[in-house]
Amino acid sequence: MVKTATGIKFLAIISASLAEIQTLFNLHKDADMHLSVEDGYTNIYHRAGMLLAEYQNAILTPAEFIKEFKILQQEYLRANNNFKSSILSSKDYKFARESIEKRN
């Protein structure tokens, strides 16, 4: 009887410890957050390119361009605010900068 109670307590401690480790190292959640950040900023980047192209091709008037730019700027600021918890490491930042430079 004593061995069973001790075994149950031991398993409970192990289970709680593993649950805490899973919470601490929730890599799946971090990966999803980074993908969400990437999607958000990529969307803004592409829309900014399209907006500029439409303006350069005289599809948009200066007033329409400014209106659309302000909307895009608000989305950018909202994305910055929403993704504060997903701060990149120096290594990730360097990799991202190199990737952007290759595209240009």
pTM of the model: 0.55
In the numeric block, the tokens 């240009």 are attached to 104
pLDDT tens, residue by residue, 50-63: 999 999 999 989 99
Predicted confidence at residue 87, as pLDDT, reads 64
Sign of CA pseudo-dihedral 83, 88, 92, 95 = positive
